[in-house]
Amino acid sequence: MSTTFSRRAGILLHPTSLPGANGIGEIGAEALRFVDRLADAGVTIWQVLPLGPTGYGDSPYQCFSAFAGNPLLIEVAGDGTPFPDALVAFGDVIPHKRRLLDALVARTPRDAAYDRFVAANADWLPDYALFMALKHAHGGVSWTDWEPGAALRAPAALTAWRAKLASEIEQIQVEQFLFYTQYFALKRACAEKGIEIMGDVPIYVAHDSADVWVNRALFKLEADGRPTVQAGVPPDYFSETGQLWGNPIYDWDAMQRDGYRWWVRRMKAAFDLFDIVRLDHFRGFEAFWEVPGNAENAINGRWVNGPGVSLFRAIHAALGPRSIVAENLGLITPEVEALRQACDYPGMAILQFAFGGDGSAKDFKPHNYPRNRVVYTGTHDNDTAIGWWSSTGEGDSTRASDDVAREKDYAMRYLGTDGREMHWTLIRWVLASVADTAIIPLQDVLGLGTDARMNLPGRPSGNWQFRFTWDQLTPAHLTRLADLVRLYDRQPARAS
């Protein structure tokens, strides 16, 4: 069900992490400049995180829609307001961008191109725009706390609200028009340079989203719309109490009865944006950790069977073969691997995980990689390579300090290094491996420490803030990376 992956190299960097004048990365000129730098290094994959509109916690994995774009990524002319260069101060950036976006929307013509966009996206855009307008009208609270007619989508109430909020609804639609116009210009520029965009599709959607509000019958919810059960993972490397995500669980039986239409629409929209899709938390499609809706942590959950191969057969039947990567990390059973192999999706391996004492570490050692694998020094959920190597195990995971010492000793022997420039050692090993696809977070190319970490699972705040500056990404970095990409035959002949 998947297309064949060629031998290539990629960089992982979310667009919010780009430099720029407005305190957050945008998908305009600075993104185009980054694409040029990727091409200089012979890199042909740019991996990003979900691009949807973010809500509480600023997480790209908790979006108000699985179909809309994040308006904070829209390029707008700056007004000289100073912001930190090395992080996204969301609390200051959001109202700043809101003011600039309001002005940009006001001067954007509602022309034929806008009308075509609205018509082409009629299956999600009006519902999303109404959802966001209603959310603003109710002070930003979750949809379950709106007035009952709006919360439960009573037809008469929605008609009245659409009339009352017509101006706000149009503004939100124009923002989406601007986002997609800029994004597709960026995607065309990538294609011209031989670069494909790899994007993330989280298995779950946020409860406070247009997706759940519009499609309540497809989720396990109480009569008032609150989750009956919620998603998470059991205790793991990152947390002794597991991870409680709060996302509602799909009613997979209901989805199967209509041929998984919502999921087919979602994947089609994803492939409009991306050339390659990484399915986050793939193991949840085989079996997922279900936690009571009122639970305070993820310890007391249970494993429940997911949709299995029937979902992916439906997607394949509707869309044909596509480039899909299965994020098969965590507690992976033979059943999960059987599902991945039945779909013929490459799995993932994280080099940082290769040196621990548990039995799963063998799958992350380069000498065990199969060709059909996407390998990383680390992902957005890991510490940076330098941060990982500098760690004593205190506070960043469930590892004890003596475990960390053993891991480091084994890593030096395995990698044949004294520990200096560990980030380049890890980069060399993933690029040299037989795995078809090797992807490196930009933080590791730059040799940045824990302060540049993108996300620490389970940490309630301080995530998703990393930004780099152009003076950090020097010609020497690009030359060194390009040399390794060429040395290990990861640069296609068409790239210059």
- Which helix (H) or strand (E) is 272 found in, with range? helix 261-273
Q: In sequence order, which residues have a C-beta less than 8 Å from that of residue 330 and are 6 or more positions away?
A: 233, 236, 281, 283
Residue written as token pair 């059909």: 372
If phi over 0 gives left and psi between -120 and 50 gives alpha, with beta otherwise, what is residue 226? Answer: beta
- For the question of residue 251 being annotated catalytic, the response is no
Residue written as token pair 């200051």: 92
Angle at 347 between CA 346 and CA 350, to 5 degrees: 135
Residue written as token pair 């004048």: 21
To the nearest 5 percent, what fractions of the chain are helix, strand and coil?
A: 45, 15, 40
Distance CA 324, CA 278 (A): 6
Residue written as token pair 């065990």: 368
Q: Give the type of residue at 144.
A: T
Asked if 439 and 376 touch (Cβ cutoff 8 Å), the reply is yes
Which listed residue (327, 383, 407, 436) is catalytic?
327
- For the question of residue 327 being annotated catalytic, the response is yes
Which listed residue (40, 145, 344, 381) is catalytic?
381
Asked if 4 and 372 touch (Cβ cutoff 8 Å), the reply is no
Task: Name which of 335, 342, 388, 343 is nearest 364 in CA terms.
Answer: 388
Angle at 373 between CA 372 and CA 374, to 5 degrees: 140
DSSP reduced 3-state for 267: helix
Which listed residue (175, 280, 407, 444) is catalytic?
280
Give the residue numbers marked as catalytic: 280, 327, 381
